[in-house]
């Protein structure tokens, strides 16, 4: 029994800080440390002391990339940082972020969470201008677009809102970028003397603002990074907003607006850390409520409720509370599981090697179990998980999923899966139940999930739930839909 990870993968965590008198590189290090769950492939920090920019990037976890020797030369009073997850194909230090270039107006560094849906066109425009590109990342596109005057992109200087401050050069360029870019982006941008934070008009990826005790501001993908470094949470950025942190404090322009927000609903389901606040409330509470709603919609006659650790524990606690069934642990997870490249041989596979989970037979023996998972994407884990429950003595296994069936891919920066890989795109629920061998299977309904969020948050913002509903908040170009598309399409020319 081998357990593959059956979760979509978040692309990135971003962080920024403007705080004279503080060790901003160190502050960024600990901020990234708290955002590690948003990307484990590479990490990087760029700082500025107002005269020059300093940078260090590397492959691996934040704690592996940085040590005192490479952190201490990162001087200055402003910084941005990035943790990255990526598909294997483009896993290379060359693609690590933040990117850093020199421009007419000094250093410019960009850290990016999201995916530009018109990256191909933007890339083409840069190449046509005669700008050579050295990587295949969206972030290099953002950087080179910002390096050129806005006129180049044919976008008029945007109209200020009456209450906007007079924008500076970089705000103008960022605003122009918003006009020509499509898709998802939460950006942390560093110039010689300011940090900028930007969200796309739909607010697809999260971004929040915090304040440091002795003065100074930080921005981060999630509030957990603020808590970790002891910063006070101020507010989440609005969709389309452009924020500048500099010696004058915080200034903001509204930026490009969309008719409706569309925050990625999967942040609530799985991505965000349970202790982060998003939309005004803590993620853990939303997940408990999803579990409660699931209990209302789809309970079962059973003895105990167990969750798949660790991500589905909040949902399972909520389910147990609502259903009145006792909550307990049914599985242990090997805490020291690291990336190993050693593969089991046939003998081990045949005898059912379990690297990640073991069943707690003492709790399961003879019990009718409701097993809660937060989501099912490809469906390759659910079957072995049900089997493990049975092998551990469960007499019945009722699988309940605290989100709706995932039927559509994401094109806004989440590595979900292709249409062909999504089990719920190919099969209906009874077929899936049969395939995974559960006694029963049910999902939380889409209205149920949205109502759970609304219940906790107390208001109804706009969300992107395209992976469940197929209703995308922006037009997705056809080439992105092509299931067969070569993921390395951008990489065809450079194999660095």
Residue 338 neighbours by CB under 8 Å, 6+ apart: none
Minimum CB separation of residue 307 from a second copy in Å reads: 11
Cα 132 to Cα 134: distance, rounded to the nearest angstrom: 7
Contact string (CB under 8 A) for a second copy, positions 296-335, x = contact: --------------x--xx--x---x----xxxx--x-xx
Residue-by-residue DSSP string for 182-228? -EEEEEEEE-SS-EEEEE-TT--S--EEEE-TTS-EEEESSHHHHHH
- Tokens linked to 365: 């023996």
Name the nearest CA neighbour of 369 among 313, 429, 438: 438
Identity of the residue, 154 or 470, whose beta carbon is nearer to a second copy in the bound complex: 154
Q: Is the peptide bond before 310 cis (omega within 30 degrees of 0)?
A: yes
Identity of the residue, 218 or 474, whose beta carbon is nearer to a second copy in the bound complex: 218
Q: Which of 20, 50, 58, 106 binds a second copy (CB under 8 A)?
A: 106
Cα 382 to Cα 432: distance, rounded to the nearest angstrom: 10
Q: Map the footprint of a second copy across residues 217-246, applying CB under 8 A.
A: 224, 227-231
Q: Map the footprint of a second copy across residues 243-282, applying CB under 8 A.
A: 273-275, 281-282
Identity of the residue, 210 or 409, whose beta carbon is nearer to a second copy in the bound complex: 210
* Residue 496 lies near a second copy (rule: CB under 8 A): yes
Name the nearest CA neighbour of 187 among 143, 226, 217, 144: 143
Minimum CB separation of residue 89 from a second copy in Å reads: 13
Name the nearest CA neighbour of 171 among 195, 153, 139, 144: 195
Catalytic residue set: 12
User: What is the total count of residues that contact a second copy (CB under 8 A)?
Assistant: 105
Q: Are 221 and 206 in contact (CB under 8 A)?
A: yes
Phi (first) and psi of residue 160, to 5 degrees: -75, 145
Count of C-beta atoms within a 10 Å radius of residue 354:
17
Q: Map the footprint of a second copy across residues 416-475, applying CB under 8 A.
A: none
Minimum CB separation of residue 341 from a second copy in Å reads: 6
Q: Map the footprint of a second copy across residues 12-41, applying CB under 8 A.
A: 22-23, 26-27, 29-30, 33-34, 36-37, 40
Minimum CB separation of residue 103 from a second copy in Å reads: 5
Contact string (CB under 8 A) for a second copy, positions 128-157, x = contact: xxxxxxx--------xx-xxxx--x-----
Cα 441 to Cα 430: distance, rounded to the nearest angstrom: 7
Crossing angle of helices 138-147/119-129, nearest 10°? 50
* Residue 55 lies near a second copy (rule: CB under 8 A): yes
Identity of the residue, 117 or 223, whose beta carbon is nearer to a second copy in the bound complex: 223
Identity of the residue, 118 or 139, whose beta carbon is nearer to a second copy in the bound complex: 139
Identity of the residue, 4 or 426, whose beta carbon is nearer to a second copy in the bound complex: 4
* Residue 174 lies near a second copy (rule: CB under 8 A): no
Minimum CB separation of residue 426 from a second copy in Å reads: 31
Identity of the residue, 36 or 451, whose beta carbon is nearer to a second copy in the bound complex: 36
Could you tell me how many residues make up the chain?
Answer: 496
Name the nearest CA neighbour of 364 among 333, 338, 326, 337: 326
Q: Map the footprint of a second copy across residues 60-89, applying CB under 8 A.
A: 61-64, 66-68, 71, 73
Q: Map the footprint of a second copy across residues 182-211, applying CB under 8 A.
A: none
Q: Are 65 and 17 in contact (CB under 8 A)?
A: no
Minimum CB separation of residue 308 from a second copy in Å reads: 14
């Amino acid at each position: 029994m081998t357990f593959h990870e059956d979760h979509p993968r978040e692309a990135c965590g971003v962080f920024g800080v403007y705080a004279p008198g503080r060790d901003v590189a160190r502050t960024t290090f600990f901020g990234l440390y708290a955002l590690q769950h948003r990307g484990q492939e590479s990490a990087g920090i760029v700082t500025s002391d107002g005269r020059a920019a300093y940078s260090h990037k590397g492959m691996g976890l934040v704690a592996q990339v940085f040590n005192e020797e490479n952190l201490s030369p990162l001087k200055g009073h402003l910084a941005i940082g990035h943790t990255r997850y990526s598909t294997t194909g483009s896993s290379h230090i060359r693609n690590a972020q933040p990117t850093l270039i020199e421009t007419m107006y000094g250093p410019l560094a960009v850290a990016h969470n999201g995916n530009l849906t018109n990256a191909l066109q933007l890339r083409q425009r840069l190449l046509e201008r005669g700008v050579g590109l050295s990587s295949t990342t969206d972030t290099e596109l953002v950087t080179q677009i910002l390096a050129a005057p806005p006129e180049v992109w044919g976008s008029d200087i945007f109209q200020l809102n009456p209450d906007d401050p007079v924008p500076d050069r970089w705000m103008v360029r960022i605003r122009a970028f918003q006009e020509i870019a499509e898709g998802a982006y939460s950006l942390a941008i560093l110039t010689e003397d300011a940090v900028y934070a930007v969200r796309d008009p739909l607010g697809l990826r999260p971004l929040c603002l915090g304040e440091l005790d002795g003065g100074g501001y930080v921005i981060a993908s999630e509030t957990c990074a603020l808590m970790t470094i002891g910063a006070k949470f101020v507010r989440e950025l609005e969709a389309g907003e452009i924020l500048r942190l500099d010696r004058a404090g915080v200034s903001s322009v509204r930026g490009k607006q969309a008719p409706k927000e569309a925050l990625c609903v999967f942040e609530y389901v799985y991505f965000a850390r349970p202790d982060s606040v998003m939309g005004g409330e803590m993620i853990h509470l939303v997940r408990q409520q999803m579990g409660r709603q699931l209990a209302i919609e789809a309970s079962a006659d059973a003895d105990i409720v167990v969750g798949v650790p660790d991500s589905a524990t909040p949902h399972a606690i909520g389910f147990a509370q609502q259903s009145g069934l006792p909550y307990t642990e049914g599985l242990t997870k090997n805490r020291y599981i690291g990336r190993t490249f050693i593969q089991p041989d046939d003998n081990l596979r045949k005898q059912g090697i379990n690297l990640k989970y073991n069943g707690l037979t003492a709790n399961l023996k003879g019990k009718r179990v409701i097993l809660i998972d937060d989501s099912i994407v490809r469906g390759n884990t659910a079957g072995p998980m049900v089997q493990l429950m049975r092998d551990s003595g469960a007499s019945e296994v009722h699988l309940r999923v605290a989100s709706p069936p995932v039927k559509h891919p994401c094109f806004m920066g989440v590595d979900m899966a292709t249409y062909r890989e999504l089990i719920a795109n190919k099969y209906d629920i009874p077929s899936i139940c049969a395939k995974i061998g559960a006694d029963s299977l049910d999902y939380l309904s889409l209205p149920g999930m949205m109502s759970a969020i609304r219940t906790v948050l107390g208001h109804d913002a706009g969300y992107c739930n395209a992976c469940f509903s197929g209703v995308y908040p922006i037009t997705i170009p056809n080439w992105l839909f092509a299931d067969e598309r070569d993921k390395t399409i951008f990489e065809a020319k450079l194999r660095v």
